Amino acid sequence: MSSIGGELEMERSYANNSNDKRIAKNTLIMYGRMLLVTLITLFTVRIALKALGVEDYGIYNVVAGLVTFTSFIGASMQIATLRFYAFAIGEKSLSKQNAIFNLSFLIYLIIVVLVIVLAETVGLWFLKNEMIIPVNRFNAALWLFQFAIFSFVVSMLSIPFSSMIIAHEHMGVYAVISLIECVLKLSILFLIALFSYDKLFIYGLLMLVVTLIKEGIGIVYCRKKYEECFFQFTWDKELFKSIYSYSGWTLFGTLANVAYNQGNNILINVFFGPVANAARAIAFQVSNTMTMFSSNFFTVISPQIIKSYAEEDYSYMMRLFYLSSKFSYCLLLVIFLPLLLETQYILNLWLGNVSEYMLVFTRLTLIASFIMAMHSPITTVVQAIGAVKKYHVIVESVILLSLPLSYLCFKLGYSVESTFYISIVVFIIAHGLRTLVLKNVIRFSLKEYLKKFILPVSLITIIPSAITIYFYYLLPYGFIRFIIIIPVSMLLVSVCSFLFGFNRNEKQQIINMIKKRL
Q: Which of 222, 292, 313 is nearest to 20 (CA)?
A: 313
pLDDT reported for residue 72: 58
Contact between 401 and 409 under an 8 Å Cβ cutoff? The reply is no
DSSP 135: G
Contact between 369 and 291 under an 8 Å Cβ cutoff? The reply is yes
- Dihedral-angle region of residue 492 (phi above 0 means left; psi in -120 to 50 means alpha; beta otherwise): alpha
Please give the residue range of the domain that contains residue 399: 2-517
The residues, ordered by sequence, that sit 6+ positions from 124 with a Cβ below 8 Å of its Cβ are 145
pLDDT digits (tens), the chain, 518 positions: 444 444 444 444 444 555 556 655 655 666 566 666 666 666 666 666 666 666 676 676 666 665 555 555 656 667 777 777 777 776 677 777 788 888 888 878 887 888 888 888 887 887 777 777 777 777 878 888 888 888 888 888 888 888 888 777 777 787 788 788 878 887 877 777 677 677 778 877 888 888 899 889 988 888 888 877 777 777 777 777 777 777 677 777 777 777 777 788 888 888 887 778 878 888 887 787 777 766 766 666 777 787 777 777 888 888 888 888 888 888 888 888 888 898 888 888 877 777 778 888 889 988 988 888 788 788 888 877 777 778 888 888 888 888 899 999 999 988 888 989 998 999 899 888 888 888 887 877 888 888 888 888 888 899 999 999 998 999 898 889 988 888 888 889 888 888 887 777 777 766 665 565 55
pLDDT reported for residue 12: 47
- Per the structure, how many domains does the chain have? 1
The residues, ordered by sequence, that sit 6+ positions from 235 with a Cβ below 8 Å of its Cβ are none
Question: How many of the other CB atoms lie within 10 Å of CB of 412?
Answer: 8
Contact between 162 and 81 under an 8 Å Cβ cutoff? The reply is no
3-state secondary structure of 455: helix
Cα 458 to its chain centre, rounded Å, is 24
Backbone angles phi, psi at 302, to 5 degrees: -55, -45
Alpha-helical segments (H) within 53-123 = 54-64, 70-90, 94-118
Q: Which of 126, 70, 59 is nearest to 278 (CA)?
A: 59
User: b/e string for 218-232 if b means 16 or more Cβ within 10 A?
Assistant: bbebbeeebebbeee
pLDDT reported for residue 125: 85
User: Residue 394: enclosing H or E segment and its boundaries?
Assistant: helix 388-400
Distance in angstroms (rounded) separating the CA atoms of residues 74 and 86: 18
